[in-house]
Amino acid sequence: MKRRVTVIDYGMGNLFSVARALEYCDAEPVFATSPEAVLDAERLILPGVGAFADGMAGLQQQGLVQPLQEYYRSGRPLLGICLGMQMLLETNEEFGYHQGLGLLPGNVTAIPKFGADQQPHKIPHIGWNSLHNPSQQQSWSDTIISGVPEGTRMYFVHSYTAFPDQEQNRLADADYNGQRLSAVIRSGNLFGCQFHPEKSGPWGLKIIENFINLN
């Protein structure tokens, strides 16, 4: 029997790209627009593209903030993608100060406009970039990036980056001209990908498959 994966539809995600990736990985995508659908999910994806404040407003308008927080406390698998990852944290500084879902302690701030060499670089950060392990003490086994080789390139599109308060919550980073970017965050069965796994080729699909198979 195919595993069902619930994808939150709040008007700001790449729903059909995510759904196609889930179907390719032999899962059954189900779209959720109500608190009941979120709370009933076996595993949940929060996608997102756009501004942080608009994303949180969309969740609030549909009454999904508290259900998401309750779902997280249940320990069931939850994956945030791009903006969806950023909203997992406590706060964001995009066009003012905004509260996130508060599932993971930390803040989301603008990517510095200059590299470590003080030379300007393009914002947003768009394109393929490599994953690396920020702490060789932490294994990628039994996570959504299990089996993904270090140095694998994923597709990013973002202007802001997550800064978890605890280093242990940074599962993978990317380097942008010497600036450290959170690529994958993790706390228990809560995961976030700043890149788009559904647009990152075979290794991105491997990440989706790993998420589907989390216990």
- State the pLDDT confidence band at 95, using cuts at 50, 70 and 90: confident
| Residue 172 scores a pLDDT above 90 | yes
Residue 13: predicted pLDDT: 79
- Which residue out of 98, 125, 196, 209 is catalytically annotated? 196
| Residue 115 scores a pLDDT above 70 | yes
Instruction: Tell me how far apart the terminal alpha carbons of the chain are, to the nearest angstrom.
Output: 16
| Average pLDDT estimate for 89-103 | 91
Mean pLDDT over all residues of the chain? 95
CATH 3.40.50.880 assigned to domain 3-212? The reply is yes
pLDDT in tens, 2-27: 899 999 999 887 899 999 999 999 99
| Residue 178 scores a pLDDT above 90 | yes
Angle between helices 201-212 and 15-24 (to 10 degrees): 80
Query: What is the 8-class DSSP label of residue 12?
Result: S
What are the sequence ranges of the domains in the chain? 3-212
Record the tokens describing residue 47, joined without a space.
């996608």
- State the pLDDT confidence band at 137, using cuts at 50, 70 and 90: low
Beta-bridge partner residues of 185: 170, 192
Q: Is 198 a catalytic residue?
A: yes
- State the pLDDT confidence band at 114, using cuts at 50, 70 and 90: very high
- Which residue out of 82, 125, 158, 209 is catalytically annotated? 82
Length of the chain as a residue count: 215
Question: Which residue from 101, 88, 55, 102 is spatially nearest to 162, judged by alpha carbons?
Answer: 88
- Which residue out of 158, 193, 198, 209 is catalytically annotated? 198
Residue 96: predicted pLDDT: 79
Residue 186: predicted pLDDT: 97
| Average pLDDT estimate for 159-186 | 96
Displacement of CA 44 from its chain's centroid (Å): 12
What residues contact residue 148 under an 8 Å CB cut-off, 6+ apart? 131, 140, 203, 206, 207
Residue 97: predicted pLDDT: 84
Q: Is 42 a catalytic residue?
A: no
pLDDT in tens, 38-83: 999 999 999 999 899 999 999 999 999 999 999 999 999 999 999 9
Q: Is 25 a catalytic residue?
A: no
Residue 14: predicted pLDDT: 80
- State the pLDDT confidence band at 215, using cuts at 50, 70 and 90: confident
| Interatomic CA distance for residues 110 and 58, integer angstroms | 22
Residue 212: predicted pLDDT: 98
196 close to 21: Cβ distance less than 8 angstroms: no
